[in-house]
């Protein structure tokens, strides 16, 4: 566990926790962007350069912008006047804490604890391209089809219908 | 603590943060973002297992993470489209006010 990992992990956790905890939704998305940057840096730190850049492109460039558009379109940036009820909030946090403790217990008891550090794999973008075009060409095409269908579906769902319809 | 288990613990913590947000926030947009956080935690696991696994040159973990990111992006687009449709219907993104399935 290096100091780089600790800094990046702290950045990611702080960003994600702020994204889930702040009251103003625009602030939430800004904090979320910080968390995504931390996560992409962790991918880079692990040597997965391609996944790190995909994370930046898709999440920061796509999902975060989309969320900001949705917030501004629905005018829900201002926090609601009434506070959420305390037991509800407490129940969600308790369930999440329970899930985390079970996961942490499983991880510390598993064989992953004593694993040594293998040599860093050298993965060039060229190899990723070859893998995508050879071994993973069918999943790649299916992913393109899925994206097309999802984008058309999103447009159809969000388009206002005639009066009286959705 | 070995590097792999510290990454796994971080991923578990991110998953729990996303779960807490998805369970306890009222805004539909934030619930969707919480689900995205959980997907991201799973992606971190894929990459960590790929890095510390026996055959990192096979690229399996990275490919799975990249495809998972793509599916998450499609899910975000459709989810936010649904939120817009719900907003047009009920003039709110507050989940507590979405109590009926048809107007």
The enclosing domain of A25 has a CATH number of 1.20.120.1200
| Contacts with A58 from chain B: Cβ below 8 Å | 69-70, 72-73
Q: How far is A74 from chain B (nearest CA, A)?
A: 6
pLDDT at A144 exceeding the cut of 90: yes
Listed residue (A24, A62, A59, A30) closest to A42, CA to CA: A59
| pLDDT for res A116 | 62
Three-state DSSP at A46 gives coil
Residue B58 — very low, low, confident or very high, per pLDDT cuts 50/70/90?
confident
Where in the sequence is the domain holding A19, given as residue range(s)? 1-79
Residue B102 belongs to some domain of the structure: no
A78 vs A154: which has the higher pLDDT: A154
- Quote the pLDDT of residue B51: 86
pLDDT 10s digits, A75-102: 776 665 555 556 778 888 999 999 999 9
pLDDT of residue A157: 87
Q: Give the whole-angstrom CA distance, residue A45 versus residue A66.
A: 27
Nearest CB partner across the interface for A13, out of B13, B74, B93: B13
Of the listed ranges A29-33, A53-57, A110-114, the one predicted with least confidence:
A110-114
- A29: chain B residues, CB-CB within 8 Å: 33
Q: Answer whether residue B100 is part of any domain.
A: no
Residue A49 confidence (pLDDT): 87
Q: Which two tokens stand for residue A101?
A: 């403790």
- Average the pLDDT over A97-114 and give the result: 85
pLDDT of residue A162: 63
Place of tokens 């729990």: B16
Residue position matching structure tokens 């979405």? B98
pLDDT at position B5 over 90: no
Q: Is the pLDDT of residue A30 over 90?
A: yes
DSSP-derived 3-state class of residue A118:
coil
Query: With contact defined as beta carbons under 8 Å apart, do A73 and B87 qualify?
Result: yes
Domain count for chain B, please give it. Answer: 1
Q: How far apart are CA B4 and CA B52, in angstroms?
A: 7
The answer to whether position B30 is within a domain reads: yes
B29 with A70: CB under 8 angstroms?
A: yes
pLDDT per residue as tens digits for the range A56-75: 999 999 999 999 988 888 87
For residue B61, the domain's CATH number is: 1.10.287.3510
Contact yes or no for A55 and B69 at CB 8 A: yes
Asked if the Cβ–Cβ distance from B80 to A51 is below 8 Å, we say no
Provide the phi-psi class of A165: left if phi over 0, else alpha when psi is between -120 and 50, else beta.
beta
Biggest CA–CA distance in chain A, Å, is: 64
Residue B40 pLDDT class (50, 70, 90 cuts)? very high
- Give the closest-approach CA distance of A8 to chain B in angstroms: 11
- Look at B23 and A95 and tell me if their CB atoms are within 8 Å: yes
- Alpha helix (H) ranges present in chain B? 3-24, 28-52, 60-90
- Examine residue A64 and state whether it is found in any structural domain, yes or no: yes
- Subunit contact B83:A70, Cβ cutoff 8 A: yes
Domain assignment present for residue A61? The answer is yes
ipTM: 0.90
Share of chain A above pLDDT 90, in %: 47
B83 CB neighbours in chain A (<8 A) are 70, 74
pTM of the model: 0.88
Is residue B52 within 8 Å of A118, Cβ to Cβ? Answer: yes
Round to whole Å and give the CA distance between B45 and B42.
5
Please name which of B43, B81, B29 lies closest in space to residue A32, comparing C-alpha atoms: B29
Which chain B residue has its CA at the smallest distance from A55's CA?
B69
Q: How many domains does chain A have?
A: 2
């Amino acid at each position: 566990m290096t100091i780089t990992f600790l800094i990046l992990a702290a950045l990611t956790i702080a960003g994600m926790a702020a994204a889930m905890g702040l009251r103003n939704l625009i602030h939430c998305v800004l904090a979320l962007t910080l968390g995504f940057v931390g996560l992409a840096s962790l991918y880079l730190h692990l040597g997965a350069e391609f996944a790190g850049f995909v994370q930046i492109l898709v999440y920061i460039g796509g999902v975060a912008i989309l969320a900001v558009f949705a917030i501004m379109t629905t005018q829900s940036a201002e926090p609601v006047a009434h506070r959420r009820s305390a037991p509800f909030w407490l129940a969600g946090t308790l369930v999440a804490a329970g899930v985390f403790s079970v996961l942490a217990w499983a991880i510390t008891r598993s064989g992953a604890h004593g694993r040594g550090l293998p040599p860093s794999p050298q993965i060039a973008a060229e190899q990723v391209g070859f893998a995508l075009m050879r071994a993973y060409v069918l999943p790649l095409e299916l992913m393109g089809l899925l994206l097309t269908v999802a984008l058309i579906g999103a447009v159809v769902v969000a388009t206002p219908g005639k009066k009286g319809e959705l | 603590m070995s590097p792999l288990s510290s990454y796994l613990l971080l991923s578990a913590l991110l998953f729990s943060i996303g779960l807490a947000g998805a369970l306890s926030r009222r805004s539909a947009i934030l619930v969707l973002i919480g689900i995205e956080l959980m997907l991201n935690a799973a992606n971190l696991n894929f990459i960590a297992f790929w890095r510390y696994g026996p055959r990192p040159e096979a690229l399996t973990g990275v490919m799975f993470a990249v495809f998972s990111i793509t599916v998450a992006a499609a899910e975000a687009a459709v989810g936010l489209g649904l939120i817009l449709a719900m907003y047009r219907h009920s003039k709110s993104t507050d989940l507590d006010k979405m109590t009926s399935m048809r107007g």
